[in-house]
Amino acid sequence: MLIAATVDVVADAGLRGLTFRSVAARAGVSNGLIAHHFGTRHALLVAAMEWAVDNAIEATQLAGFIRGQVTPEDFLASLSDVPEVHAFQTEMILEARRNEAFRAPISELYERYQQVADCAVRSLGITVDSAPVARQAFAFLDGVVLQHMAGVEHAILIGALRDVQRDLRRRAPDKASEDR
């Protein structure tokens, strides 16, 4: 509840709007409770980043999309299910550019996405150079998230998502030739 309220406050008001008081008001608790649980604003934000990445991975079914089990339409629709999470992460990425204290947590956020993408790529049978393929796929999807937040036309994004799934299928080894 406190973490989700933190994400919502940052998504709505940016980091300048984040105070223990604003989070407490959003969560319906006392601001002393937040100070007790997290101690510092930095600790609260790091915890919120960890929660946000797990929430985004689950909501978008990132691995399922990479495997081709989630359609481009469903992936794009899922972005609208958690817009606050994506806005929060974008705010934190920009803050990491200005504030070195957030660079390591943002690197960890991206590493978590990379791990999920790499496992999904490997499950397609792409085991040689899977990490670069996964990084490329995730970087592409990261860009789609930003474009979606900016209001780029859905048809354009769906076409691009279809292209990346087609590219991943082409890179996957042919199962029939493996069985011979």
Q: How confident is the model over 64-86, as pLDDT tens digits?
A: 999 999 999 999 999 999 999 99
Question: Where does the pLDDT of residue 124 fall: very low under 50, low under 70, confident under 90, or very high at 90 and above?
Answer: very high
Q: Environment class of residue 154 by beta-carbon count within 10 Å: exposed (0-12), middle (13-18) or buried (19+)?
A: middle
Residue ranges of alpha helices (H) inside the chain are: 2-13, 20-27, 31-38, 41-60, 62-67, 72-81, 83-98, 103-123, 130-150, 154-171, 175-179
Give the Cα separation of 36 and 91 in Å (integer). Answer: 25
Band (pLDDT 50/70/90 cuts) for residue 141 is very high
Please give the backbone phi and psi of residue 40, each rounded to the nearest 5 degrees, phi first: -130, 160
